[in-house]
A and B are shown apart, each in its own frame.
Chain A
Amino acid sequence: QVQLQESGPGLVKPSQTLSLTCTVSGGSISSGSYYWSWIRQPAGKGLEWIGRIYTSGSTNYNPSLKSRVTISVDTSKNQFSLKLSSVTAADTAVYYCARGYSSSWYVWGQGTLVTVSS
């Protein structure tokens, strides 16, 4: 059974870059026709899709975040990563990594809280 685990700093200073990694276990990130996504949720609020990557390296990003987001994949480490630049307090949220087909996500990580504060 595939499992996902997010990791990275829980505190990031304003204007800096948020960096998170999602480690895939129980299966290869390269197997199957899956898309690997990042989704976030501010405390007490709804979900927001950030972006996704296919194992070929092709990416799609939320238009509202596109200028600040980079998602990459490292198949040798069975990981994919998120970088979000020029963060502000509005980027404080629980960040989830997830696996899915097209526009539905079947497997989720447990989520990691990232707080943007000086």
Chain B
Amino acid sequence: QSALTQPPSASGSPGQSVTISCTGTSSDVGGYNYVSWYQQHPGKAPKLMIYEVSKRPSGVPDRFSGSKSGNTASLTVSGLQAEDEADYYCSSYAGSNNFHVVFGGGTKLTVL
């Protein structure tokens, strides 16, 4: 069982927007602004899409955005494209005395 809770699946049609949630606790998501989101295509390594809740690394389209409210973080993909179909994982810093990171179980995003 993963430390962070994500819906197993999400879907949307091309051009639509979809939001994926990531729920934790006050000891991880709610306690720190260190939530990241990763995109993973089958057989490939994860790719960082969002860090520190809402920041995008260079090269990531602005169609991807992140936010947080309380113990729940969200990833929104706007203007869905076929290549956005992938698994998405959230992660959060969870350390208090020692550095620790926890992940969500992943969400399979299907572009209909």
Interface residues, chain A, with chain B CB atoms under 8 Å away: 45-49, 52, 60, 62-63, 96, 100, 102-106, 108-111
Contacts and interface: CB of A to CB of B under 8 A. Distances in A.
A103 B91 contact: yes
Contacts of B98: 60, 63
Interface of B: 2, 34, 36, 38, 44-48, 51-52, 57, 89, 91-93, 95, 98-106
B87 to A, nearest CB: 9
B92 A103 contact: yes
Contacts of A96: 45-46
A109 B52 CA distance: 22
Contacts of B105: 45-46
Nearest to B98: A60
Nearest to B50: A104
Contacts of A103: 34, 36, 91-93, 99, 101
